[in-house]
Chain A
Amino acid sequence: MPATETILFVSLCYIGVLFGVAYYGDKRADRGRSIINSPYVYALSLAVYCTAWTFYGSVGRAVRSGPGFLSIYIGPTLMATLGWLILRKILRISRIHRINSIADFISSRYGKSMTLGGVVTVIAVLGIVPYISIQLKAISTSFLLLHTYEGSPANVHFGNLSIFKDTAFYVAFILAVFAVIFGARKPEATERHEGLVAAIALESVVKLMAFLAVGVFVTYGIYNGFGDLFSRAEQMPEVSRLFTLEQRPGTYTDWTIYIFLSMLAIVLLPRQFQVSVIENVNEDHLKKAIWLFPLYMVAINVFVLPVAIAGTIELSNHGVDADTFVLQLPLIHDKSHLALLVFLGGMSAATSMVIVETIALSTMISNNLVMPILLHIPALKLNRRNDLSSWLMAIRHAAVVVTILLGYIYFRQTAEYYPLVAIGLVSFAAVAQFAPALLGGIFWKGGTKAGALSGLIAGFIVWLYTLVLPTMTDTGLISHSFIQLGPFGWDWLRPFHLFGLAGFDSISHGVFWSLLANTGAYVGVSLFSKQSALGHTQATMFVDVYRLSQETQETLVWRGTAFIPDLKSLLERFLGKERTEEALNEYAQIHHVDWNRSPTADASFVAHVEKLLAGAIGSASARVMVASVVKEELLGIQEVMDIVDETRQVIIYSRKLERATDELKAANERLKELDRLKDDFISTVSHELRTPLTAIQSIAEILRDYPDTQKEEQSNFLEIMINEIHRLSRLINQVLDFQKIESGKMQWNIKPLDMIKVVQDAVDATRQLVTDKDMLMTVHLPENIPTITGDRDRLIQAMVNLISNAVKFCEPQTGQITVNLYQRYNKLHIKVTDNGIGINESDQQVIFKQFRQVATSGRGRPQGTGLGLAITRRIVEFHAGKIAVESELGKGSAFNIILPIEKL
C-alpha cells in the first residue's frame, strides 16, 4: 500500500502538471499559436463525457446488470454519427449568434427570452449538482481506500469524517481555483479556453491509460487472457449471468431508453456543449471526432466486463462496493504503483468533469440568471455603472465556487446512499429535458417560446416527481408509503409506476414520462400559440442557418440606428476599454468603416455590437442593453415575414428576375434599332456622297471628251460642278458635326450672347439663298432681350438649317418666310414660318431623327442629307431648349425653337 505522503505528493504533482499545461496552453493561445487546433485534441476533449462514473461506476453497473452499462456509450456513438447533421448545425448557429451556453442557445432561439434562459439554468443546476457531487465522492472514496487499506478489501464510510480530513474538500477547493484561473479569464464567455481544453485532453489520455493498464493487468496478469477469464466466469452462475442482459420483462425497453437518453446527453450536458460547441476551434474537426470519440469509448469499455468479472470472483464475498473494484483489484494483488495510477485515472476523470461542468454552469448562472436579475433591479443602477466587466467576472467566479460548494454539500448530505450510476442517470434525465426545445428549435420553425417554456416546465415537474422525489425517502424526508402506495393512497400517482405503467426500471420510467410530457407540451402549446416578431426571426435564422447569408443575418433584426459613442460606451462597460477597442478595430477593418465619418451606426453595426455583448452577458441581456441605446423599434412582424418568409423570397427573386429580363429586352431592342440606324446612316451617306460625285464625274467626262463645247455651256457645266462640290463638302461637314455631337466630342464655345444678333447673322447668311429664288423673308426682332449663354456659331447653324429648309420646301417667287424672335416669360421663342408644302402629321414625329427625309410627292428627292434637323435638335437640346413643329399639308410649316433664359 502506498504511503499517504506518496499519494498526496503524486496527486499534487499531477495537479501541478495540469496547471502547467493549462498555463502553457493559454500562453500559446495569447501568442496566436493554438495547441488545441487539432481534431485529435478535440476528440479527446469530448471524452470529458467519461467521468468517474465511467471509470469506477461502469464496473459497478456491469456487476449489477451485465452489459446494460454499454448503452450509455452506444447512444453517444450513434449521436456522433449524426454529429455532422445536428452538432455541426448547433456549432454554426452558436458561432454566428455568439452563443455561450446551452441556456443562452435556447433563450436566443425563442426570441432571446430571459425567462427561458433562467428556467434552463435552474434545471441545469439542479440536475447537475448531484452529478458533480458523485465526482467528489469518487475522489474521496478512492483516496480513503488507498490510504486506509489494511491488506484486506473493505468499504469506506465518511459519515463521521470531518470536512478538514476529507480529500474531496481540498480537491474541490483546488478545482475551484483551477476553474477560476483558466475557465473564466475574460468577460466574453464565447472566448475559447485553450489552456483548459489542453488540460482536459491530457486528463482524457490519463484516465484511458489508467483504465487500460488495470484492464490489461486483470486480464493478462491475474488471468490468462479473455478466454481464460470468461471460461472461469462461465463456471459460476452468479457471474455468468453478466454475459447477457438481465432476464426480466422490459429489459429491452430499458436498454433502448438508455441508448436514447445518452444520445441526448452527449449533446445536452452543459460540459459537452462547452467542449464540443464553445471550445471548438474548427468545424472540420468534427469530421474526425465523430469516429475518434466513439473509438475512445470502445477502448475505455473493453476491459469493463473483465474487471467486473474478476472483481466479482475475488471480492464479492467480502461485501465490497462494486464501484470500487477497479481500485481494489490492484490493491489486493499488492500492485501499489498500479493502484496509484488507477487513483490518478479516477481523479482525472472526476476533475475534468467537475472543471468543465462548473465553468459551463457558471456562465449560465452569471449570464442567464444573475445578470438579468441585477439589470432589472433599478436600485442597483447597474445601467449607469461604467465598468461592469469586473462585476461580470466576479459573478462568474462566485458562481464557480458556489457550484462546486453545492456539489460538495450534496455529496456530504446524500451521495453515500447511492451508487454512482444512478445519480448520473438522474442528471442525464434532467438535461434530456432540453431536447425538445433545442433539437426541435433547430429543425422546426414552428416552436414558440410559450411551447418551449411549457415543455421545459412540464418535463421538469415530471422529472422531479418520478426521479428526484423518491430519492428523498432514503434520506428520510418522505415516507416509504408515498412511493409504494402513492400520495394519499392514490396508486395511479405512484412515482415509479405513474398511471400504473410497469415493466420499466425507475430511470427509464421517469425518462419516458418526463420526455413525453415535455415534448407533448412543447409541440401542443407551440401549435396553439403565436410567436413574437423577434421569435419568428430567430426561428428562421436558427433553422435556415446554412441558407441565410451572414449579411442577411446581421441586418435582419435591427432597423433602428444608434449613436456610435453610445454603443461604444456600452461595450466598454461590459468588455473593458482595451477589448472594445480591439473588437471595433477588427470590425472597422473587415467592413471598411471610418468611425469619424458619421456618428450614427447602421443596422449591421448595431447587430454586431449586440452579438459582442451577447458573447459576454448572454443574448437576452444583450438585447435589453442594446435596446436601451437604439432609437428605433424592431421590424414589424409583417416586414420580418416579408424578408424571411421563404416563398416571399422566391417571389421577390422572380420579380427581380422579370425586371432584369425586361431591361435586357429593352436594351436589346435599342441595340437592334441602333444597328438599323447605323446601316441607314451608311447607306444614306454613301448614296448622298455618290450623287454629287456622279454628277461631277459625268460633267468632267463631258468636258474632257468634247473640248470644243461652247464657252457659255462650259461655264454652265463648271457652275454645276462647283455647286455639287459645295454640296459634297457641306454634307461631309454635317456628317462630321453630327458624329461629333452624338459621340459628345463636340467642342462647344460657350459665351454670353445676344440672340438678336444671332438671328440677324443667320438671316444675313441666308439672305442670298432667299433672293436667289425670289422669295420674301420678313424678320421681326424685339428692341432688346436678355442675354443667354451658348455657342454662337452652333446657334447660327441651327437657324441657317431652319431657314434653308424653309427655302427648300417653298415655291420660288411665291415663297414667304417669316422669322420671329420674342420673349415669353423666361423663355425665348424663335419661330421660322413658311408657306411651303407642309409636313404630314405622321411625319412630324420623325423629321428630327437622323436620316429621316420626308418623301415629297411631285418634287422628287428632297435635297440634303436628312441630318440638318437632327443636328438642329441636338444643338437646341444642348442649350436646354426644345424644338417643335406645327404644320399643315399645303399650307406651310412653323418651326419653333424655345430656349430658356437662366435666372441670374
Chain B
Amino acid sequence: MTAEAIRTKRLIGLFLLGYLLFNYPLISLVNLPARVGGIPILYAYIFGVWIVIIILVALVSSKDSRAPR
C-alpha cells in the first residue's frame, strides 16, 4: 500500500470517529446541565473532542505514513 493510501485511510477513520463522537446518540450522553471544572459539560465535551481530532489529523497528515508493522 502506498503512503498516500494509508494516509487517506487513517483520515477517513478519523472522520468516522469524529462523526460518531459529535452525533446522536453519543452527544446526548453529555447533553446535561452540569459542569466539569466550571465549564458546561456539553461544551467541555465538544471542544475536547474537537481539539483531539485536530491533533490526530495534524499527526496523521504531517507524519510520513509508514505501513503499520
Chain A residues in the interface with B (C-beta under 8 A):
67, 70, 74, 77-78, 80-85, 226-227, 230-231, 234, 240-241, 243-245, 252-253, 255-256, 259, 287-288, 290-291, 294-295, 298, 302, 305
Contacts and interface: CB of A to CB of B under 8 A. Distances in A.
Contacts of A291: 54-55, 57-58, 61
Contacts of B31: 244-245
Nearest to A294: B54
Nearest to B14: A81
A298 B23 contact: no
The interface residues of chain B, by DSSP majority, are classed as helix
A231 B15 contact: no
A240 B57 contact: no
B35 A234 contact: yes
A74 B46 contact: yes
B38 A227 contact: yes
Contact of B8 (A70, A77, A84, A240): A84
Contacts of B61: 84, 287-288, 290-291
Contact of B33 (A78, A82, A243, A255): A243
Interface string B35-58: 101111111001100110111011
B51 to A, nearest CB: 7
Contacts of A226: 38-39
B27 A78 contact: no
Contacts of B50: 74, 77, 294, 298
A295 B54 contact: yes
B12 A77 contact: no
Given A82-B15, A255-B24, A243 B42 contact: yes
A243 B18 CA distance: 21
A290 to B, nearest CB: 6
A826 B62 CA distance: 80
A294 B18 CA distance: 13
B23 A81 contact: no
A78 B51 contact: no
Nearest to B23: A256
Contact of B11 (A84, A240, A243): A84
Contacts of B33: 240-241, 243-244
A240 B37 CA distance: 16
B67 interface: no
A552 to B, nearest CB: 20
Contacts of A84: 7-8, 11, 61
Contacts of A82: 11-12, 15
A256 B40 contact: no
Nearest to A233: B40
Interface of B: 7-8, 11-12, 14-15, 18-19, 22-25, 27-28, 31-33, 35, 37-43, 46-47, 50-51, 53-55, 57-58, 61-62
B34 to A, nearest CB: 8
A78 B54 contact: no
A287 B39 contact: no
A84 B31 CA distance: 32
B16 to A, nearest CB: 9
Contact of B51 (A231, A259, A287, A298): A298
Nearest to B51: A298
A243 B35 CA distance: 9
A85 B54 contact: no
A70 B39 CA distance: 16
Given A85-B11, A288-B62, A70 B46 contact: yes
A77 B53 CA distance: 9
Contacts of A70: 46
B53 A81 contact: yes
B13 to A, nearest CB: 9
B38 A305 contact: no
B31 to A, nearest CB: 5
Contact of B40 (A85, A230, A287): A230
A227 B28 CA distance: 23
Nearest to B25: A252
CB-CB nearest 3 A-B residue pairs: A227-B38, A252-B24, A243-B40
B27 A252 contact: yes
Given A85-B8, A85-B11, A252 B28 contact: yes
A498 B35 CA distance: 39
A67 B42 contact: yes
B18 to A, nearest CB: 5
Nearest to A546: B4
B18 A81 contact: yes
Nearest to A286: B61
Contact of B38 (A77, A231, A287, A290): A231
Contacts of A288: 61-62
Contacts of A230: 35, 38-40
B11 A81 contact: yes
Query: By CB atoms of chain A within 10 A, which of B7, B31, B41, B51 has the most?
Result: B31
Contact of B57 (A241, A243, A252, A290): A290
Given A74-B18, A77-B50, A77-B53, 17 more contacts: A74-B46, A80-B57, A81-B11, A81-B57, A84-B11, A85-B12, A227-B38, A230-B39, A240-B33, A252-B23, A252-B28, A255-B24, A259-B19, A259-B23, A295-B54, A298-B50, A298-B54
A255 B63 CA distance: 33
Given A81-B11, A288-B62, A67 B43 contact: yes
Contacts of B19: 78, 259
B3 to A, nearest CB: 12
A828 B43 CA distance: 105
Contacts of A85: 8, 11-12
Contacts of A253: 24
A78 B38 contact: no
Contacts of B15: 78, 81-82
A255 B58 CA distance: 26
Nearest to B35: A230
Contacts of B11: 81-85, 290
7 contacts: A77-B53, A77-B54, A227-B39, A241-B33, A243-B42, A256-B23, A298-B51
B12 to A, nearest CB: 6
A256 B12 contact: no
Query: By CB atoms of chain A within 10 A, which of B28, B47, B53, B54 has the most?
Result: B54
Nearest to A241: B33
Query: By CB atoms of chain B within 10 A, which of A67, A81, A82, A302 has the most?
Result: A81
A244 B32 contact: yes
Query: By CB atoms of chain B within 10 A, which of A240, A241, A243 has the most?
Result: A243
A38 to B, nearest CB: 15
A82 B51 CA distance: 16
B47 A243 contact: no
A298 B54 CA distance: 10
A244 B32 CA distance: 6
Nearest to A70: B46
Contacts of B57: 80-81, 290-291, 294
B35 to A, nearest CB: 6
Query: By CB atoms of chain A within 10 A, which of B35, B37, B51, B62 has the most?
Result: B35
Contact of A78 (B22, B35, B43): B22
A302 B47 contact: yes
A240 B43 CA distance: 13
A255 B46 CA distance: 13
Contacts of B41: 243
A606 to B, nearest CB: 32
Query: By CB atoms of chain A within 10 A, which of B14, B40, B51 has the most?
Result: B40
A298 B18 CA distance: 15
B5 to A, nearest CB: 11
A68 B50 CA distance: 15
Contacts of B51: 298
A288 B57 CA distance: 9
Contacts of B32: 244
Nearest to A73: B50
Query: By CB atoms of chain A within 10 A, which of B33, B43, B51, B61 has the most?
Result: B43
Nearest to A293: B54
Nearest to B13: A81
A80 B19 CA distance: 12
